[in-house]
Amino acid sequence: MSPPVHTRIRDILNIDIKNSVPLSGGCIGDVRAFDLDDGQRVVVKSGGNRLDLEGWMLTTLKERSVLPVPDVLHSARDLLVMSYIETSGGITAPAEQDAADHLAALHTVTGDSFGLERNTLIGGLNQPNPQTKSWVGFFAEHRLLHIATEAHTVGQLPSSLLDRTEALCGRLREWLDEPRAPSLIHGDMWTGNVLCNGGRIAGFVDPAIYYADPEIELAFTTLFGTFGDTFFARYAEHRPIAPGFFEPRRGLYTLYPLLVHVRLFGGSYVNSVDATLRKFGA
């Protein structure tokens, strides 16, 4: 049996602990802020699974981009220790502009293929990343079909919707072209993963990284209202948004996070998937 988390943190950092307080965002394991004797504060995730992979993703973002993310101080399968990011306030218009600057810069980081050198996670779920030359093929097989099959296997997605998703995947080239280059993306860009402080972006957390068409990241930001017109106007100053993104491609790209939510939660997300498939004639 592993020693208590407090003991592990003390032994890892070689500093005594004053106290700890729970933080939000603990859908996978427990998340706490630990105050240390030297005045430092750290964030600790524990009790989850594959926290070492989350640590690897944060470190990879730090090494390959200038996106602001927590420093990883220690990572193990069931324990992740990160630097604490001070926050205050929510996503204001200036914060949206700042986020656009950061994400546009991230999307300039390119690779030789879509996917990544290892699989990652999204919401604690496996996210396969076989390195693939075709974005449309990758998106069909390793995003839509993969997660739809997973959701069906656990009883969250009806067979009819799985069949319709498969049919849509066979027609994706009616709407999608191959991007100029694979771009590195954060991969899980919703409000809870965006930390603000005084009208600026303080950091991004809980990534689900891979190399993709950056439009899938832009679409993700609209699904739950994370960013709006202010963000897109600023982003377009750095990287022009091609015609047809808002309609129809955004709808295709939001289908992936919707299917992730079906796999995790079921419920009304099934109806959202059904509506999206109908919109594209599937």
pLDDT at 43 (0 to 100):
95
The whole-model pTM stands at 0.95
Q: Tens digit of pLDDT for each residue in 149-165?
A: 999 999 999 999 999 99
- Closest Cα to residue 158, out of 281, 276, 271, 280? 271
For residue 26, pLDDT over 60 is answered with: no
Average pLDDT over every residue of 211-217: 98
pLDDT at 2 (0 to 100):
57
The C-alpha atoms of residue 54 and residue 202 are separated, in whole angstroms, by: 19
CB 51, CB 78: distance < 8 Å: yes
Average pLDDT over every residue of 268-276: 97
Supply φ then ψ for residue 27, to 5 degrees.
-70, -25
Structural domains in the chain, sorted by start: 5-83 (3.30.200.20), 93-279 (3.90.1200.10)
For the beta carbon of residue 189, count every other beta carbon within 10 angstroms.
Answer: 26
Instruction: Tell me the three-class secondary structure of 6-58, residue by residue.
Output: HHHHHHHHCCCEEEEEECCCCCCCEEEEEEECCCCEEEEEECCCCHHHHHHHH
Average pLDDT over every residue of 60-65: 98
pLDDT at 45 (0 to 100):
93
The C-alpha atoms of residue 266 and residue 269 are separated, in whole angstroms, by: 6
pLDDT at 1 (0 to 100):
41
**What does the block give as tokens for 182?**
């694979």
pLDDT band at 47 (very low <50, low <70, confident <90, very high): confident
Average pLDDT over every residue of 237-250: 97
pLDDT at 7 (0 to 100):
87
Average pLDDT over every residue of 90-117: 98
Query: If DSSP codes are grouped into helix, strand and coil, which group holds residue 277?
Result: helix
Average pLDDT over every residue of 130-153: 98
CA 185 from chain centre, in angstroms, equals 8
CB 83, CB 232: distance < 8 Å: no
Percentage of residues in the chain with pLDDT exceeding 90?
A: 87
185, containing H or E segment: strand 183-185
- Closest Cα to residue 117, out of 179, 178, 69, 182? 182
Higher pLDDT residue, 7 or 135? 135
Q: Tens digit of pLDDT for each residue in 168-210?
A: 999 999 999 999 999 999 999 999 999 999 999 999 999 999 9
The single residue listed with the structure tokens 């929510």 is 90
pLDDT band at 27 (very low <50, low <70, confident <90, very high): low
H helices of the chain, where?
5-13, 51-64, 93-106, 135-138, 146-153, 159-169, 215-223, 229-238, 250-265, 268-279
